[in-house]
Structure 1
Amino acid sequence: MSKYLNDIADPNAPKLQLDDIQGLILRGYNFDYIRYLVFTIDSNNISGAREFLNKLLPDSGSPLTITSAAPWPNGVKPSYCLNIGITSFGLKMLIGPTDYSTVKSASFPLFGLYDGGAAVNAAAVGDIDDSAPAKWWKRSGGWELPADPKADGSDLHVQISIYTKSEEEREAYYDTLLSLIPVNNNVPALALAFMKDSNPLLTGHNYIHFGYKDSFSQPRLSKVPWNNKSQRMLLGVSTVDDRPIVPPYHFVITKKYNDGKTTVPNYRAHPLILNGSFAAFRLLYQDVKAFNTFINKTPGVEPELVAAKMCGRWFDGTPLVVSPTGPNPNLKDFDYTNFNYLSRTANQQGEMKNDALGVLCPYASHIRRTNPRDDNMVTGNQNNPDGTLNYAESRRIMRRAGAYGPDYDEVKDKDKDIQRGLVGLFICANLASQFQFIMQSWVIRNGFRTTDASPNSSGFDPLFGPPNNTMQAYNEFDYLNDETTPPAYKSIDGLERFVRTDGGLYLFLPGIDALKCLSQGIIPTT
């Protein structure tokens, strides 16, 4: 078995500097109440913005500081977590155009998408027509500035996330955060541009508005202290974790070692971005009414089955390849993630069948397209140095997102435009080869697998739908009916865009030392 796919961390892998890495890059906080904030820096008070960053440093003594990835004392979760991201426009203001150009030149191609920003590169990830940047921010609610947002995103500079255990604590920590912003002549150094809260839905913890339980298949990192067997047992995780090991350097920009032993991508990285990462901040409206109409439109077919085929999981999270006929209430812990499509994992539940034809889980399904696991026929084939497949490595993203807006109510929401959806960060070391590749090549591209006999080559990711309403040739969802021999495709016409982008930023998530440099308006030389 490849060393990249087992539970033994590569002994030559560099040790992570956990106290210099922002915590949300490597671990999920599992807080129920989150507030996502976007600020604009006053161009006349950049020194005040730097002072604000200095106050947020972990050793500053301030009442609210950035959460690093260092283990929590005695394993006890803190009362809050706080993290920060900087847009390219904000970074240029904090360190100046000359130093920004230096960092950019030394960090190509990691700066490629980040430099232009999410709005400039929106079309590449399907943000066109009704999801175009010209329509972002205001229609979702939460826009706080008197001026309209700029279409290129150049007015948005700093993104901060506050994670708490209750609504009351969230309000208190938010007030504390605002109190740390310096004010000059009654003008704050940073002005709040956008705010959006994420609260748990009535359906349950980690559910999204479409009705699915979410957040199952986060990458499993090596070289982190909370991801070893003993720590998982302390957390009450009772089943074996078969998920492939994913090296942290796909999420933390790591220095290249030229020792002939250590395996680290040859990132072109200026010292400023070491121990940092990048993220796509996404505000995604979900049209629950249209989704429910679609899954209920085929007479004689249970809507739960249609929804499961679209996602690849039943509403409770049970994978189709583990239980194709319905949810399995006996699954627990890693039973929801221990599965492959072609050959079973060591602890895979259910009756394993090779699903190379997509009979159980369609090629089009959301979870298969965003994480192909062991399916070696998808586009963008890459291998580990030993020849084994690495879809669970280089094409993964770390997802830190939750639901926003009230629960859907078919009666109360009739004829109302209620804003609800998903908001959060999609983290990776390389925006182009991870986030954009997944969106461009697997989610919004018609045709995701090299061998696909479905009528429309599996079309688009059915939860997202076609990028615009003019693609009539692909406005259907096809899946195999496994009750016939040979299996025959069933088609549901009228697939539309159920997810609409209402906001987006490309962020740099600086390490703690880098944040210290930003607070001084300098860049490191080594």
Structure 2
Amino acid sequence: MSILDKVKALVHHEAPAPALELHDIQATILFDRPDPYFGTHVLLRFDSAAGGRALLARLAPHVRSAADAADNAEAWIAVALSHAGLRALDLDAALLDSFPAAFRDGMAQRAERLQDYGPNAPETWEAPYGSGQLHLAVSIFAPDETSWRAAMVTAHEQFAGIAGVTVLGSHDFGAQPDSRNSFGYRDNIGNPAVEGGTAPTWPGQGRPVKAGEFILGYPGEAGVPLAQPGPVQDSIGRNGTYVVLRKYHTDVAAFNRFLREHGGDAHGQELLAAKLVGRWRSGAPLALAPERDDPELGADRQRNNDFTYSKDQEGLRVPHGCHMRRMNPRDSKLAILTDVNLHRLIRRSTTFGPPYRPDLFEDDGAERGLFFIGLSAKAPETMEFMQQEWINHGNFIDLADERDPIVGQQPDGATFTLPERPVRRRIHGIQSFCTLRGGEYLFMPGLRALRRLAGNQA
């Protein structure tokens, strides 16, 4: 054990985790979405402060807390506001200015830090993203179609008849076979464990990360809470978190063509698909199933995330540049020293559009994609770090300018490296498979804070 690890262990030993105020924390922060899942994201604008407060007051009783989410057997509603939305509620200027700079700016204004250029630039985004009009996002998560539709009726009842509120858009998601994403991979496997949380934990999640990294008001990995908006003794931030919402269109036809061109036979294509992500489409990790897919392993939550990279530092099983290893290097030896636990996000991403088609080689016009949803107490800053260092660069893994093969925006002539013996193999001509359609930084308040916002008592 290194000296740094010993110091961390001492800090964690001497600072027992404070009890989380589960009744005040939105369920989405601590509990996975259901599997299978159905749902809808509704985007709204406050045309008047009174209308916005009235809507929040109606929604507040229906927002589920972590104390009521012992399982995923029922539908629930989550809400989050942009900084523009908080301004539209006529909050005190000093309170508004106390939020972090990235959140105050909004995602579109942070395009340079996020490296959202070219096809990903804000001027190409769908409305209402990047316009300052998106004030409130309401998300409904459900384990089946019946409860989803019932929750949608409840949500729409709250929207109905309120002057000063406009519904800007509604996006259904989910209902994919085996909860797979639009590229055909089982999703939502590798989330961090939160210290003090009550959600089930799984082998391979590693040491629980201090709750303050994800929820405002609790000590983080450094032993102290992160900064909160407003007065410390009466913070509107307590038990809240920040949300990164990014809507991606996925080019499944281009992905399939790339596999066909560079993968060889059917097995070779599936192996290449696994090398790009770090898992077979079933969810089985290459670290445990390096040669062939193992669907039984992929479906087993007790085993499908229980691995390290300690015996694969060369990347012969799991390439250093694959999507999964970039997003969570675990115990990889990195060229640039990084505390991985300081750069984790809780993911609640949702897939939309028709299921994956392995026979699709030309664009069929269907809208397929992913709402990337990442939560943490410093989610905007974490996302900007990931975009700059882990997604759109490769220095931290000695891969120079090589980018993430799934969500990276690829320049002409981009490559993907496969470590092999006796020499590594470089695949040339990898292209961008995901294009950003829009996004926003949001604040997901605790339930007490939500009620205060509804009464403008913040």
Deviation at 1:320, TM superposition (A): 1.6
State the SS of the aligned residue for 1:35.
strand
Tell me if structure 2 keeps the 8 A contact 1:445–1:459. yes
Aligned residue in 1 for 2:175: 200
Query: Matched residues in 2 for 1:414 and 1:262: separation?
Result: 50
Query: Matched residues in 1 for 2:290 and 2:356: separation?
Result: 27
Aligned residue in 1 for 2:151: 173
Aligned residue in 2 for 1:495: 430
Which of 425, 445, 448 does residue 373 from structure 2 map onto?
425
State the SS of the aligned residue for 1:333.
coil
Deviation at 1:363, TM superposition (A): 1.3
CA spacing shift, 1:262–1:364, aligned 2, 3 Å: closer
Aligned residue in 1 for 2:389: 441
Aligned residue in 2 for 1:218: 191
Structure 1 gap ranges (5+):
59-64, 139-148, 343-353, 383-389
Aligned residue in 2 for 1:267: 227
Query: Matched residues in 1 for 2:197 and 2:446: separation?
Result: 16
CA spacing shift, 1:472–1:38, aligned 2, 3 Å: same
State the SS of the aligned residue for 2:190.
coil
CA spacing shift, 1:311–1:409, aligned 2, 3 Å: closer
Tell me if structure 2 keeps the 8 A contact 1:82–1:163. yes
The answer on 1:40 being equivalent to 2:45 is: yes
Aligned residue in 2 for 1:56: 59
Report how many aligned residue pairs link the two structures: 444
Query: Matched residues in 1 for 2:355 and 2:296: separation?
Result: 27
State the SS of the aligned residue for 1:318.
coil
CA spacing shift, 1:221–1:10, aligned 2, 3 Å: farther
State the SS of the aligned residue for 1:521.
coil
Deviation at 1:134, TM superposition (A): 1.7
CA spacing shift, 1:314–1:378, aligned 2, 3 Å: farther
Write out aligned runs for 1:388-427 (5 A): 390-391=339-340, 393-409=341-357, 414-427=362-375
Tell me if structure 1 keeps the 8 A contact 2:184–2:356. no
The answer on 1:477 being equivalent to 2:422 is: no
Query: Matched residues in 1 for 2:301 and 2:153: separation?
Result: 37
Query: Matched residues in 2 for 1:76 and 1:459: separation?
Result: 41
Aligned residue in 2 for 1:464: 407
Per-residue CA deviations over 1:110-161 (Å, capped at 9, x if unaligned) read: x1111111111123223221122222225xxxxxxxxxx4x74311100000
Aligned residue in 1 for 2:245: 281
Write out aligned runs for 1:56-455 (5 A): 56-58=59-61, 65-72=62-69, 75=70, 77=72, 79-96=74-91, 99=92, 101-107=93-99, 111-137=100-126, 149=128, 152-181=130-159, 183=161, 188-201=163-176, 204-227=177-200, 240=203, 243-255=206-218, 263-270=223-230, 271-298=235-262, 300=264, 302-329=268-295, 331=297, 332-342=300-310, 354-379=311-336, 381-382=337-338, 390-391=339-340, 393-409=341-357, 414-449=362-397, 452=398
State the SS of the aligned residue for 1:394.
helix
Aligned residue in 1 for 2:23: 19
TM normalised by structure 1 equals 0.78
Deviation at 1:338, TM superposition (A): 1.4
Structure 2 gap ranges (5+):
none
Tell me if structure 2 keeps the 8 A contact 1:12–1:262. no
> What is the Cα-based RMSD across aligned positions, in Å?
2.7
Q: Which has the higher helix share?
A: 2
State the SS of the aligned residue for 1:225.
coil
Tell me if structure 2 keeps the 8 A contact 1:117–1:153. no
CA spacing shift, 1:322–1:409, aligned 2, 3 Å: closer
CA spacing shift, 1:254–1:299, aligned 2, 3 Å: closer
Residue type at the aligned position of 1:183:
G
Tell me if structure 1 keeps the 8 A contact 2:192–2:209. yes
Identity of aligned pairs, percent?
Answer: 27
Tell me if structure 2 keeps the 8 A contact 1:85–1:160. yes
The structure having more radius of gyration, on CA atoms, is 1
Query: Matched residues in 1 for 2:358 and 2:285: separation?
Result: 27
State the SS of the aligned residue for 1:57.
helix
Per-residue CA deviations over 1:29-51 (Å, capped at 9, x if unaligned) read: 315111011101113xx212212
Deviation at 1:9, TM superposition (A): 8.2
State the SS of the aligned residue for 2:454.
helix
Aligned residue in 2 for 1:519: 454
Tell me if structure 1 keeps the 8 A contact 2:79–2:137. yes
Per-residue CA deviations over 1:399-457 (Å, capped at 9, x if unaligned) read: 101210012446688453211011142111113442221222101124332xx3xxx63
Per-residue CA deviations over 1:194-219 (Å, capped at 9, x if unaligned) read: 21111222xx3221111211111101
